[in-house]
Structure 1
Amino acid sequence: MGHCCSKSVTFAVDDDKRPETLPSEVHSTTNGATSSNKNTPAHSFSSSPFQTHYPAGVDPSPSWTPKKFFKWPFPPPSPAKPITSEIMKRQATRKVKESPVATEVESGEAERAEPTLDKTFGFSKNLCAKYELGKEVGRGHFGHTCSGKAKKGQFKNQPVAIKIISKAKMTTAIAIEDVRREVKILKALSGHENTVKFYDAFEDAQNIYIVMELCEGGELLDRILSRGGRYAEDDAKTIVVQILRVVAFCHLQGVVHRDLKPENFLFATRDEDAPLKIIDFGLSDFSRPDERLNDIVGSAYYVAPEVLHRSYSIEADIWSIGVIAYILLCGSRPFWSRTESGIFRSVLRADPNYNDSPWPNVSPEAKDFVKRLLNKDHRKRMTTAQALGHPWLRDEKHSIPLDIQTFKLVKSYVRATSFKRAALKALSKALTQDHIIYLRAQFNHLEPKDGFVTLDNFRLALAKNMTDTMKESRIPDILIAMESLSYKGMYFEEFCAAAISTYQIEALEEWESIASTAFAYFEQEGNKVTTVEELAQEMNLGASAYNLLKDWIRTSDGKLSLLGYTKFLHGVTVRSSHNARRQ
């Protein structure tokens, strides 16, 4: 959970994280087989966010990315705390001096209480018998990566990448669990064409060794630099589609990557049309239904606002993809500052610049695409599947994948009141063709029989796409809350009502027109006389919200007004309900 403080919050930044004290060597990600050490002098900033390869004696611009773990300010401690602590220390010292026997007993108990970390993972211990280690090809915060070659088996003489993680750096149980989770996720997801292939894992007394596919095409970051800092719009589409497809697969499995950036995408070969591979699941975690993550991890330039607020889920990855798409299209970062705290303030408060060159020459569809990914309200962002159906990317060469959000929204719909379902049905009749295309794709993924779907269709769709990580993240638990679909079928018209997000539709420029059209349908078929008390009960609110709700009901006939209809669809946020209670 986040920390609350009555005073204004400022971001704490270590001196060693400031650009003014950049290290002389900046290393690429640990899974890459691409980058050698790069020298980045302090104070070398320019309008381009990327390092370029200049002749000797010419300062390059920085490619430095702030450290992955960020400090977060905590509320100031009580002034009495240090005094109390000091008194307790003095009392303990006095007792020890008076009783030497007690000292021996207490020290013995302390030694016995000291936990011993279990750093055994159960992996094979014969790495050298199967693989030959080569030179180092990449280094990161948690380890380094070497090239290698298989000595025997089906991969004999095949080049591989071997990520080496030191056990000495695993100083906590959490760090050990992170490594276990990284191997588990990489192993389960490596079947996707845009995920680096996992081959095996080994260990010895000093290290963990993760053997995987060697991607020799270099980082996406290097390709961007080789193209002068940005991609042509058509080429950018090819990159973004691959990123969205693999991240959509991760999200369907209940995995949030949490560190998406150009350095963590490698090309399989040096060919121009080589497939892109996602790497480095070291910061990834499981995103379980109805749970929010709260630890602040990632890379500063790509971190989502809700991550800084310590309450986030898979939507944080969508934001990072938006940052990557922005960089691909214009060659600069949407949020930038000289310090980590400045970057965070920019992410939380500033809007990206879409006015300066080259944005005037970028298509309106591309701008709309990026804006809908970089919405600061995570509920209004497109999902990866929706993004693949966006007009900018709509193409016969790729399909729209199954979207985990469909399951979450249908779950909420079947548990909603009949009044709320009527409001959503009216909204679904006003949807644009873009939404219909996406919803039709989702409906077809469920393989309807005789034109409708039941709980079995949802269950089989998950089973068809299931990996071990889906079980670990408990995604199938969603089906428990959809039990009522066992006894009835859902036709496409009702599916549209069930699988739409009011928040996402509110983000559209044509929202007012959609809302007016939807309200007209609602007036004909769903609107009914209601009281403030009944409306509060519909929305699971108490008497303190009555003042807020009374303006939603027309005095002329006691039915919802247009304002009331749109607010009812949106729902009362926690902040709104708190404000109502204070009135």
Structure 2
Amino acid sequence: SGSTTPVHQTPGVAWPSPYPAGGTSPLPAGVSPSPARSTPRRFFKRPFPPPSPAKHIKATLAKRLGGGKPKEGPIPEEGAVAAGAGAGAVADGAEAERPLDKTFGFGKNFGAKYELGKEVGRGHFGHTCSAVVKKGEYKGQTVAVKIISKAKMTTAISIEDVRREVKILKALSGHNNLVKFYDACEDALNVYIVMELCEGGELLDRILARGGRYTEEDAKAIVVQILSVVAFCHLQGVVHRDLKPENFLFTTRDENAPMKLIDFGLSDFIRPDERLNDIVGSAYYVAPEVLHRSYSMEADIWSIGVITYILLCGSRPFWARTESGIFRSVLRADPNLDDSPWPSVSAEAKDFVKRFLNKDYRKRMTAVQALTHPWLRDDQRQIPLDILVYRLIKQYLRATPLKRLALKALSKALKDDELLYLRLQFDLLEPRDGVVSLDNFRTV
């Protein structure tokens, strides 16, 4: 899957608190992708099929595939969506008048390096197969190969999506909870993205196997891994935009196997002060500000909140029989934290979920802040640098003397949790005599 090229906006936003409180998956051989309506309903209070895109997301997909403009249903922001679709139609018409460049500069020797195995997944743009490396550093290793047909790249947008996905995979190497990227190749017919093969199945499968609910301790182990990898992505300037249980795979069938985040087909690079306005993602996990067409990294935090809610109670926080109904629920409804099993869930866990599913994105925690929340706090865990610190320092340096004095006064009213988070961030920068050098900041 892919995303539209976003139009970046930088509207004025309120000065944030230092601690605001209050496309096919590389599936393992033998594991089939979850069909849209295969989830047993008896496991959940509400049926829990993997989410289908909303109607305007389908419209975007149709443009990428070069199809006709589909009918659009009554959804939130309908006027804005219709306007966007019209603009897209004009752009597509312009694209049709000139030939598309479908060369990517990737290696041309895929057949010499890899022996393709059987198909393990299929999506809108292509399919995923297992393969064995025939030569080189990884000789003999089994990998996943995402095969994207060039024939289906009928617009400049779809071509740029593939370029960006590979660029992001290359930029994000090095985290234990990220699927490893090995190679990208192409020939006249296809693009081949070679990645780590995860043989433990989707997080969604494990949720279902547990009858739809995790214990708090087991949920914590999952959420910590999600937060860690998302914090890493955000620090590298990448917003995923499609976080959901289907996009987390376990490396093996072992109960304690680590998870890997996959599928960066909807992801994009973003600067800390930018806002995106294209509506992408999966309906049940999309944040309110995405529907309002002005969002940033906080949209990923909302999606993590939805996943956490599902882990703890086995049902979705926002549900309706239609996609437009799901959007109305996301925009207007509050998650139910009263019915069973929520009375038996700890106050810390409920507070955690509330902070993530706050409709005001400015009041959500960042991924790093969440790792210091009382529900997850672990003094032995290494806390990564938060992209928020970079943003706040940048804003402080640009602030007027009066604003700096006001911030200094406000800092004296910080709570213990807020001070702990800031102290951990400060220590990461290895200060000398209470001062952090620019070199230290760059190194971290």
Superposition TM-score, scaled by structure 2 size: 0.84
Q: Aligned partners of 1:387, 1:158: CA distance in 2, in Å?
A: 37
- State the one-letter code of the partner of 2:53: K
Cα shift readout 1:499-525 (whole Å, capped 9, x = no counterpart): xxxxxxxxxxxxxxxxxxxxxxxxxxx
Aligned to 1:148: 131
**Which of 82, 98, 105 does residue 122 from structure 1 map onto?**
105
Q: Aligned partners of 2:82, 2:219: CA distance in 1, in Å?
A: 49
> After superposition, where does 1:359-398 map in structure 2 within 5 Å?
359-398=342-381
Asked if the contact 2:241–2:299 (Cα under 8 Å) also holds between the matched residues in 1, the reply is yes
Q: Aligned partners of 2:403, 2:36: CA distance in 1, in Å?
A: 57
Structure 1 113/238 Cα, relative in aligned 2: closer, same or farther at 3 Å?
closer
Q: Secondary structure at the match of 1:138?
A: strand
If asked which structure has higher relative contact order (CA below 8 Å, sep 6+), I would say: 2
Aligned to 1:208: 191
Aligned to 1:160: 143
Deviation (angstroms), 1:142 = 2.6
Deviation (angstroms), 1:450 = 1.4
- State the one-letter code of the partner of 1:122: G
Q: Secondary structure at the match of 1:452?
A: coil
Structure 1 166/355 Cα, relative in aligned 2: closer, same or farther at 3 Å?
same
Q: Secondary structure at the match of 1:453?
A: coil
Question: Is residue 73 of structure 1 aligned with residue 59 of structure 2?
Answer: no
Q: Secondary structure at the match of 1:174?
A: helix
Q: Secondary structure at the match of 1:457?
A: helix
Deviation (angstroms), 1:38 = 5.3
Unaligned runs of 5+ in 1: 3-27, 51-60, 79-109, 462-583
Q: Aligned partners of 2:329, 2:42: CA distance in 1, in Å?
A: 18
Q: Percent same amino acid at aligned positions?
A: 72
**Which of 142, 158, 164 does residue 181 from structure 1 map onto?**
164
Q: Aligned partners of 1:200, 1:458: CA distance in 2, in Å?
A: 31
Aligned to 1:348: 331
Q: Aligned partners of 2:181, 2:275: CA distance in 1, in Å?
A: 28
Structure 1 175/41 Cα, relative in aligned 2: closer, same or farther at 3 Å?
closer
Q: Aligned partners of 2:276, 2:96: CA distance in 1, in Å?
A: 31
Question: Is residue 434 of structure 1 aligned with residue 417 of structure 2?
Answer: yes
- Of structures 1 and 2, the larger Rg is shown by 1
Question: Is residue 36 of structure 1 aligned with residue 32 of structure 2?
Answer: yes
Q: Aligned partners of 1:43, 1:288: CA distance in 2, in Å?
A: 38
Aligned to 1:246: 229
Cα shift readout 1:386-426 (whole Å, capped 9, x = no counterpart): 00111111113422210111111122122222222222212
- State the one-letter code of the partner of 1:276: M
Aligned to 2:296: 313
Asked if the contact 1:138–1:145 (Cα under 8 Å) also holds between the matched residues in 2, the reply is yes
Structure 1 456/124 Cα, relative in aligned 2: closer, same or farther at 3 Å?
closer
Aligned to 1:455: 438
Q: Aligned partners of 1:446, 1:75: CA distance in 2, in Å?
A: 43
Question: Is residue 330 of structure 1 aligned with residue 313 of structure 2?
Answer: yes
Q: Aligned partners of 1:182, 1:226: CA distance in 2, in Å?
A: 31
Q: Aligned partners of 1:355, 1:227: CA distance in 2, in Å?
A: 22
Aligned to 2:267: 284
Asked if the contact 2:25–2:263 (Cα under 8 Å) also holds between the matched residues in 1, the reply is yes
Q: Aligned partners of 1:391, 1:112: CA distance in 2, in Å?
A: 52
Cα shift readout 1:415-458 (whole Å, capped 9, x = no counterpart): 22222222221221121111111101111111111121243432
Cα shift readout 1:518-554 (whole Å, capped 9, x = no counterpart): xxxxxxxxxxxxxxxxxxxxxxxxxxxxxxxxxxxxx
Asked if the contact 2:132–2:142 (Cα under 8 Å) also holds between the matched residues in 1, the reply is yes
Asked if the contact 1:40–1:62 (Cα under 8 Å) also holds between the matched residues in 2, the reply is no
Q: Aligned partners of 2:45, 2:229: CA distance in 1, in Å?
A: 25
Q: Secondary structure at the match of 2:49?
A: coil
Structure 1 113/397 Cα, relative in aligned 2: closer, same or farther at 3 Å?
closer
Q: Aligned partners of 2:374, 2:308: CA distance in 1, in Å?
A: 15
Q: Aligned partners of 1:67, 1:112: CA distance in 2, in Å?
A: 25
- Greater mean deviation of Cα atoms: 409-418 or 118-127: 409-418
Superposition TM-score, scaled by structure 1 size: 0.64
Structure 1 424/67 Cα, relative in aligned 2: closer, same or farther at 3 Å?
same
Structure 1 113/210 Cα, relative in aligned 2: closer, same or farther at 3 Å?
closer
Question: Is residue 172 of structure 1 aligned with residue 155 of structure 2?
Answer: yes
**Which of 407, 414, 424 does residue 407 from structure 2 map onto?**
424
- State the one-letter code of the partner of 1:400: I
Aligned to 2:19: none
Structure 1 76/356 Cα, relative in aligned 2: closer, same or farther at 3 Å?
closer
Asked if the contact 2:43–2:211 (Cα under 8 Å) also holds between the matched residues in 1, the reply is no
- State the one-letter code of the partner of 1:392: W
Cα shift readout 1:27-64 (whole Å, capped 9, x = no counterpart): x94332274255666999678278xxxxxxxxxx5523
Aligned to 1:64: 50
Asked if the contact 2:121–2:127 (Cα under 8 Å) also holds between the matched residues in 1, the reply is yes
Q: Secondary structure at the match of 2:79?
A: coil
- State the one-letter code of the partner of 1:63: P
Asked if the contact 1:145–1:162 (Cα under 8 Å) also holds between the matched residues in 2, the reply is yes
Aligned to 1:273: 256
